[in-house]
Every structure is written in structure tokens, then in C-alpha cells.
Amino acid sequence: MNFDNFYSNNNFYFSESYSGGLAECLKKYNVSPCATLDLGAGEGRNSFFLASSGFNVISVEPSKVGAEKIFHRSENKKLNIEVYNSEFLSISRELSELGLVVALTSLEHMEHSEIGQTVSEIKRILKPGGYVYILVFTEDDPGFKKDTNNASECSLFIKHYFKKNELKELFSDFNILEYSEYMKRDTTHGPIHYHGKAKLFARKPL
């Protein structure tokens, strides 16, 4: 699924607000600015937050429109962001020694068969002691249940909803600092809808 149409107007399709959950984890665990990947950066809202907070950000986004938006805004605001207009697995070999990887509702847009390799690459490109923050949609999501009255208009494009504990188990060799599964009302885009979410904050062993 290509997000070009969603991103091709002047506003931010998924709002301009960054992830409050990510900001809370960085603060709670005293994560210092470091080399960071925003995997599936969209229009860059979390990349901008991280770069404004002093992190050196690599934004990877396959939508040309999204990647160009991130590039132009980071140039205008003189933010330290390197943009790759690419799918993650096409460029992941170029990355290493990162201190933080964030992936906010992007892994579910990959085929199930790609997710194992993506997780292996996230683990490889993090240096020991590096952190990962991931948010995904779960099988509690109305989109998975075909409950069209409560599902997001984007749910047709989701390729994999995560099973209970699936995300946590994929990182069982990491130190899991935070993990939760919950339902959330979403008023940021399209008709009001709900999401079943899993959130993970974990650290690669030293």
C-alpha cells in the first residue's frame, strides 16, 4: 500500500502531534540523544520530535510524498534528519550502531513473512544497550474483526494484525521495560474509530 494519497495535502494526515508514549519512555528511562531510526516515518511527526530533542534521526519512508515532506521540513527547520525514500529491508544493510529504533504503526503494513526479518534487522542495527519503541495494531482492532463501524479507514491496507503477546515474544531476548496491550479511541484522522494496540519499549542486552 502506498501512502502517497494520504500525504499529498498540506496538512498532516495522522496529525502533527508526536507520540506521547514514546516521549514518556524516553523521559522515564533517561534515554540520551543518540543515532535513531524512525522506521516507516510517514510525514515525520515523530522524526521531528526526536530531532528537535537532539537525536540524530534517520527517517525511512517508502512513500515519495511522505519522504519529500520530511526532507523539506527538516531543511526549513534545520533539523538533523537523514531521509531514505525506501522500504526498510531495502536499506537496512546500510545501518548499524544505532542507539534507538522507533516504529510507530508501521510493522503491520508489512507482509507477515517480512516481519521476522525486519525484527532481526532491528536487533542487528542496534548497538548493545540500544532501545526499541514499537507500536502495532493487534487482533483486538476492529479492522481485524471487520467491524467497519469502528475500524479506521486505513484498515483495508493492513497486512498483519499482531496476536496477543506476539510483539513481546519477538523481543524475548531483549530486556522488556514496558509492554501493554490496550484499546484506544482515535480522533486524529477520518471518522472517529478505535484501535487495538500493543506497545513495547525494550533494551538490547549490554
Ligand X SMILES: C[S@@+](CC[C@H](N)C(=O)[O-])C[C@H]1O[C@@H](n2cnc3c(N)ncnc32)[C@H](O)[C@@H]1O
Interacting residues toward ligand X by CB under 6 A: 3, 14, 39-42, 45-46, 60-63, 66, 87-88, 104-106, 109-110
Closer to ligand X at the Cβ: 138 or 205? Answer: 138
Closer to ligand X at the Cβ: 3 or 174? Answer: 3
Give CA 141 to chain center in angstroms. Answer: 17
Closer to ligand X at the Cβ: 66 or 196? Answer: 66
DSSP helix, strand, coil percent of the chain (3-state; round to 5): 30, 30, 40
Q: Closest approach of Cβ 57 to ligand X, in Å?
A: 12
Q: Closest approach of Cβ 145 to ligand X, in Å?
A: 19
Q: How many CA atoms lie within 13 A of 203 on its CB side?
A: 12
Task: To the nearest 10°, report the CA torsion of 76, 79, 85, 87.
Answer: -150
Q: What number of helices (H) and strands (E) belong to the chain?
A: 7, 7
Q: Closest approach of Cβ 14 to ligand X, in Å?
A: 4
Q: Closest approach of Cβ 191 to ligand X, in Å?
A: 16
Closer to ligand X at the Cβ: 45 or 203? Answer: 45
Q: Sort 146 into a burial class: Cβ within 10 Å, 0-12 / 13-18 / 19+.
A: exposed
Q: Closest approach of Cβ 18 to ligand X, in Å?
A: 8
The DSSP element (H or E) to which 7 belongs, if any, is helix 4-7
- Give CA separation, 89 vs 74, 115, 143, 171, 181, in Å: 24, 10, 26, 18, 27
Q: Which residue is nearest to ligand X (CB)?
A: 42
Closer to ligand X at the Cβ: 104 or 200? Answer: 104
